[in-house]
Structures are given as structure tokens and as C-alpha cells.
Amino acid sequence: MSASINKKSMMEWLDPSEMHEASLKWMSELKFIRDEQLFLNDLVKSYTLQLTDSAVFNESKEIIGAIATAEKEVIVLMKKVQAHENQLEIMLDHIDQLKMEKTYTETHWELNSEIGKYSVNYRELKSRLFKLVSKIMKKDKGNRLLN
């Protein structure tokens, strides 16, 4: 109950410039994640042979599939943020459109939540990939030392 009260009170005090700044920040974060995904794809390509090893195949298949899904999701989120930013005029036009302004503010908080969840899940996915590749690198290093 207090979360909904807190959310409603927060909706009331956000002005258009703050929502604009938040939208710009979201877009920046999403663009960075998109660039990072290109790096992750290169990392996967570099270790393709090792990732197909039977000892790690199922885990690597799951992680790589999740990365592909995350790549699609980030594009959808970027489009949502851009559309949200384009609709900011509703808040700035000095015309009382209370229902549209309320909807815009609610959409803002929904996007905030959605991007927050995506970021947390993406960081976890990235961490899992790095741990897997690190494990593979240690195994390869051990094999080289034995030869």
C-alpha cells in the first residue's frame, strides 16, 4: 500500500524537464547496453569452439540464447523510450489535458520500472557469460601448462 502511495506522490512532483532528463538517461544507458552486446557477440565468436564443448554446451547455449533475446528487448525498449520522449509535448503545451498528462506520467513510471528490471537481468546475464568464459580460459590455460 505504501509503495502505491509513494509512487502516486512521486508522480505529482515530477515536472516535464525531469521526465525529459530521465528519458535521455534511459536512452543513453540503452545505447551503451546495445554497444556492450556487440562486444559480447564478439566474445562469444572468439570462444565458439570452447563454448560448444560438451562440458559447458548446455549452459553456453542458454546464455547465448538469453543474450539474443536481450538484444531484441533493448531495441524494443529504445523504441518505447523514443516514443515516450516524442510525446513529451503533452506535458509542455500549456493545455490542460489531465487524462493524457496522467497517462503520460504513468507511462513514465512504467518505463522506469521496465528499464530497471531489464538492466538488472542484463547485468546478471553478462556476469554469467563472463564467469563461463573465465572458466573456459582457466581450463585452456591449464591445458597449455600441461603440454
pLDDT tens, 99-145?
A: 888 888 899 999 999 999 999 999 999 999 999 999 988 887 766 65
Full-prediction pTM beyond 0.85? no
Question: Measuring CA to CA, which residue among 42, 43, 44, 18 is closest to residue 105?
Answer: 18
- Which residue range(s) make up the domain with 29? 17-131
Task: Look at the chain and report how many structural domains it folds into.
Answer: 1
CA neighbours within 13 Å on the CB side: how many for 5?
2
Distances (CA, A) of 108 to 33, 68, 133: 20, 26, 37
Distance of CA 7 to the CA centre of its chain: 22
Q: How far apart are CA 123 and CA 99, in angstroms?
A: 36
pLDDT of residue 89: 81
Q: Kindly state whether residue 4 falls inside one of the protein's structural domains.
A: no
Q: Kindly state whether residue 8 falls inside one of the protein's structural domains.
A: no
Residues 31-77 pLDDT 10s? 999 999 999 999 999 998 888 888 889 999 999 999 999 999 999 99
Q: Kindly state whether residue 54 falls inside one of the protein's structural domains.
A: yes
